[in-house]
Amino acid sequence: MFNIRKWFSTSKTPQSEPIPGSTQVPNSAGGYSFEVNDWMRLDRFLILGTEGGSYYATEQKLTRESAEAVLRCIQADGSRAVACIARISKEGRAAKNDPAIFALAMAAKLGDEATRKAAGQALPEVCRTGTHLMHFAEFAEGFGGWGRGLRGAVGRWYNDKPASELAYQLVKYQSRDGWSNRDLLRLSHPKAKTPDHQALFAWATRGSLPAEVPSALAIVEAVERAKKATTVNEIVALIRTHDLPRECVPTQLLTHAPVWEALLERMPFTALIRNLATMTRVGLLAPMAPATAEVVRRLEDEAGLIKARVHPVQVLAALMTYKSGKGVRGNGSWSPVAAVVDALDAAFYKAFRAVEPSNTKTLLALDVSGSMSGGTVAGVPGLTPRVASSAMALVTAATEKQHGFVAFTNGLTELDISPRQRLDDICARTAAMPFGGTDCALPMLWAKERKLEVETFIVYTDSETWAGKIHPVQALADYRRESGLPAKLIVVGMTANKFSIADPKDAGMLDVVGFDTASPALIADFSRLRPSPRRKEQKGHPYRGEV
């Protein structure tokens, strides 16, 4: 018999060819993957960002492609796009807010009238600080300058804040990226809502204070005095009385421990995490010091971390830098305090939302191929997709008791890693593993060969799969058939590209975004789902895909 099946099969296709009849497209690695829709691309862009590019695409190319997908979302359903941007930003699901600000500026300039209006209304939700607002101004200018709607929205940003809150924003964020409050106030020209606002606008645009300073402007007056302060005692008194942030302290006074001690008392979470090295270098943080106990206490405060929108990537970046004892840009060195390192490690897990375990048998599979070592996640130095994926997988490992860990190099390697080990040690180990070709089908083939019961396969990858003799979805269908289990496949996308190994037509497969703080909960919820009874009665397997 002429072996037709050898040349044409829908159940076994090499990854270098598309599955016949499927919607697969060529990926950047010479293989074929599925394409995620523009809404998933919007999520990936907002959460992972494109800073640092990827292995296959430069930052410029990845940004341009992502921006085109964002624009298509804005054109297809502007109000949905704005709601999505606002939600991800507000809930602190992304490591950096810049992609959300960029996308909002795009909606505010390039959307239809209703979309532009919605974007203007979402401005204070997405741009919560003066820095955010200045970034927005910079992006909006790139999309073609200022219209009346945009000027109105920026004016309301200043006017709608209570005077004391606005005063804090004005002193803390005076200028960024070539934009200042003066520029924005002159451009938007809001009519002051109250005499206090009037006085604040006058200070921001002309530097003048009224003869009699109203109480809402006390912090502004303190900032003027801080500029002239020369002694530690003077600045410490001003910090304690007026809650002055670090930005208002003259640089030459920032080398003294008592100054940082005073700042620490009411230091916002993000500043706390960013300044651990400095506080150690000036001697404030030391083994058994009271300030160390205070920092540890705050890092252990789960509710506080969530409320301050501290993102796990920020914690991980701080951990990697702090533990190393030297600055990324070569500025100075310090002796890391072990208690702080441990507290950062614990804070990483706490910064994700609380997850209810699904109690399913879960195989966590890390793509550690060469391409996963290119580019960065959210622009964090040293945080490649491969390092990031091991950290991300540990969050699920910490939740699900019945889990296994594998990495696909050349063949599959079992990993004996656990959330009890320190995150930075595991990251260093993952970074040092040998590279292999990318074959995302291996976890399913491996489980089938060993007759392992797996209910959920989770693959952390860029979906640039090309090396295998069979596509991942085919290997999954095969595994389901052999094991009789309705096994699911969850793809954790670690790059803001458009590919996925998951078939969008298969209800048993899900795409989530790596380092979305909501992802571990989404993963658990999806793993918990049982096939509906009606589907069970159908011939074959309830989760059998179309292909």
* Region binding Ca ion by CB under 5 A among candidate stretches 185-193, 368-376, 477-485, 534-542: 368-376
Give me 154's structure tokens.
């920026």
| Contacts of residue 210, Cβ cutoff 8 Å, sequence gap at least 6 | 199, 202, 217
- Min dist CB 489 to Ca ion, Å, is 18
Distance CA 288, CA 412 (A): 44
* Region binding Ca ion by CB under 5 A among candidate stretches 38-46, 152-160, 170-178, 365-373: 365-373
- Min dist CB 377 to Ca ion, Å, is 15
Give me 146's structure tokens.
């200022």
Read out DSSP for 455-488?
SEEEEEE-------SS-HHHHHHHHHHHH----E
CA-CA-CA-CA torsion for 132, 138, 142, 148, nearest 10 degrees? Answer: 80
Interface with Ca ion (CB under 5 A), residue from 63, 321, 371, 456 = 371
| Contacts of residue 87, Cβ cutoff 8 Å, sequence gap at least 6 | none
- Min dist CB 44 to Ca ion, Å, is 17
Query: 358 or 369, CB closer to Ca ion?
Result: 369
Site for Ca ion in 508-527 (CB under 5 A): none
324 pairs with which residues across the strands?
none
Query: 22 or 409, CB closer to Ca ion?
Result: 409
- Min dist CB 462 to Ca ion, Å, is 6
Distance CA 236, CA 427 (A): 40
**Largest pairwise CA distance in the chain:** 100
333 and 362 Cβ atoms separated by less than 8 Å: no
Query: 15 or 474, CB closer to Ca ion?
Result: 15
- Min dist CB 466 to Ca ion, Å, is 8
Give me 505's structure tokens.
């037509």
Written as one letter, the residue type at 433 is M
Interface with Ca ion (CB under 5 A), residue from 35, 43, 464, 511 = 464
Query: 30 or 290, CB closer to Ca ion?
Result: 30
Interface with Ca ion (CB under 5 A), residue from 131, 369, 483, 527 = 369
* Region binding Ca ion by CB under 5 A among candidate stretches 91-99, 261-269, 366-374, 409-417: 366-374
Distance CA 254, CA 278 (A): 9
* Region binding Ca ion by CB under 5 A among candidate stretches 6-14, 174-182, 371-379, 527-535: 371-379
Q: Encode 495-528 in three state secondary structure.
A: CCCCEECCCCCCCCEEEEECCCCCHHHHHHHHHH
Binding track, positions 427-456, relative to Ca ion; x by CB under 5 A: -----------x------------------
Query: 51 or 464, CB closer to Ca ion?
Result: 464
- Min dist CB 501 to Ca ion, Å, is 11
Whose CA is closest to 369, among 456, 494, 488, 490?
A: 494
Query: 55 or 322, CB closer to Ca ion?
Result: 55
- Min dist CB 24 to Ca ion, Å, is 17
Query: 66 or 438, CB closer to Ca ion?
Result: 438
The values of phi and psi at residue 491, to 5°, are: -105, 120
If binding means CB under 5 A, how many residues of this protein chain bind Ca ion?
A: 4
364 pairs with which residues across the strands?
405, 458
Residue with tokens 């006390």: 218
Q: Is 54 in the site for Ca ion (CB under 5 A)?
A: no
Q: Tell me which residues touch Ca ion (CB under 5 A).
A: 369, 371, 438, 464
